[in-house]
Amino acid sequence: MEKWECTACGYIYDPENGDPDSGVKPGTPFEELAEDWVCPQCGVGKEFFQKMS
């Protein structure tokens, strides 16, 4: 599964880790994150994220 990077602050969403503090289990692909999920580091929305090459 691909990692996605927040273009606002550099935070990297790694699907293997998920985002447990926000209730996102490890193994959750980025595409399956809820529309109102925000970057755990800075709070911007999914639209700021881009797939890492």
Binding positions for another protein, rule: CB under 8 A: 5, 7-11, 21, 38-39, 41-45, 47-48, 50, 52-53
Smallest distance, another protein to C-beta of residue 11, A: 8
Rounded-to-integer distance, Cα 31 and Cα 10, Å: 18
Q: What is the distance, to the nearest Å, from the Cα of residue 19 to the centroid of all Cα atoms in its chain?
A: 7
Smallest distance, another protein to C-beta of residue 15, A: 16
Smallest distance, another protein to C-beta of residue 31, A: 19
Residue pair 18/26 in contact (Cβ under 8 Å)? The answer is yes
